[in-house]
Amino acid sequence: MTGHQVGLDTNESMDVVNLKCEPDLIPTLIRESRIYSVYHMNKQHWISVDIERYEDIEKLKMLVDMSYQLVGKK
């Protein structure tokens, strides 16, 4: 994925993970550095996280766990 795809002013390549998220948390999360609105998925339920540059590992683990729980419900 490139920076342009997540709304950045760069075409630099980046590694992201797309995570399903509670819709009410998304507006707050995408205001954080290195968390973006998804490029090609439902923006009401998914976020993209720059896995190389996101620094809060514990929060990333929590987001991965939440995504797993939400996807696993089906």
Q: Which residues on neighbouring strands pair with residue 49, listed in sequence order?
A: 17, 35
* Distance from C-alpha of 57 to C-alpha of 71, rounded to nearest angstrom: 21
- Sequence-separated (6 or more) residues with CB below 8 Å from residue 66: 19, 20, 21, 22
pLDDT tens, N- to C-terminus, the chain (74 residues): 666 576 667 777 788 899 999 999 999 999 999 999 887 888 889 999 999 999 999 999 999 999 999 998 65
Distance in angstroms (rounded) separating the CA atoms of residues 70 and 74: 8
Kindly report the pTM of this predicted structure.
Answer: 0.83
What is residue 1's predicted lDDT score, i.e. its pLDDT? 67
The one-letter amino acid code at 23 reads P
Indicate the CATH number for domain 3-72. Answer: 3.90.1150.30
Where along the chain do its domains lie? 3-72
